[in-house]
Amino acid sequence: MYQFSYSDIQTDSVADAKDRERQLLDRSIALLDAARQAGSDSQKAVEALHFTNRLWTTLLEDLGSPENALPRELRANLISIGLWVLREAEEVRHGRSQNFEGLIEISQIIRDGMQ
C-alpha cells in the first residue's frame, strides 16, 4: 500500500497542471504554424486563432485568480503578455495583421519558461 503526503500530492498536481499547460501551448503553436503556412484566410487559421484565444482566455482567468500562487509581478507580466496575444490574434483574425510568427514566438517563450 502506498502512502503519500499532502505536499507530495499537491506537488504532483502542480507538476501535472504545468505539463498540461505546456501541452496546450504546444498544440497552439502547432496550429498557429499550420495556419501561418496555409494563410490567414484559411480554415486552419480560424481553428488556430480560436484555440489560441480559448487557451489564453483560460490562462488569463487563472492568472487573475486570487488563488493563483505565482508571484504578483510574474502574474502581472503574464497577464500583459496574454492580453497582447489576444489582441494580436484578433488583428490576424480581422486581416489587419499576418503576425503568426509573433504569436508562435511568444507562445514558445512562455512554454519554454515553464518549469
pLDDT per residue as tens digits for the range 10-58: 455 778 888 999 999 999 999 999 999 999 999 999 999 999 999 999 9
Cα angle 13, 16, 18 (rounded to 5 degrees) comes to 110
The per-residue pLDDT for 13 is: 77
Asked if residue 17 is part of any domain, the answer here is no
Q: Which domain holds residue 78?
A: 26-113
Rg (CA), the chain: 16
What CA–CA distances, in Å, run from 84 to 8, 19, 110? 36, 23, 13
Pick the range with the lowest mean pLDDT from 44-48, 67-71, 84-88: 67-71
For residue 9, being part of any structural domain is answered with no
Domain count, the chain: 1
Of residues 8 and 111, more confidently modeled: 111
CA atoms within 13 A on the CB side of 71: 3
Each residue's pLDDT tens digit, 12-23: 577 888 899 999
Confidence (pLDDT) at 14: 76
Distance CA 57, CA 108 (A): 17
Q: Which residue has the cell 519558461?
A: 113
Structural domain contains residue 11: no
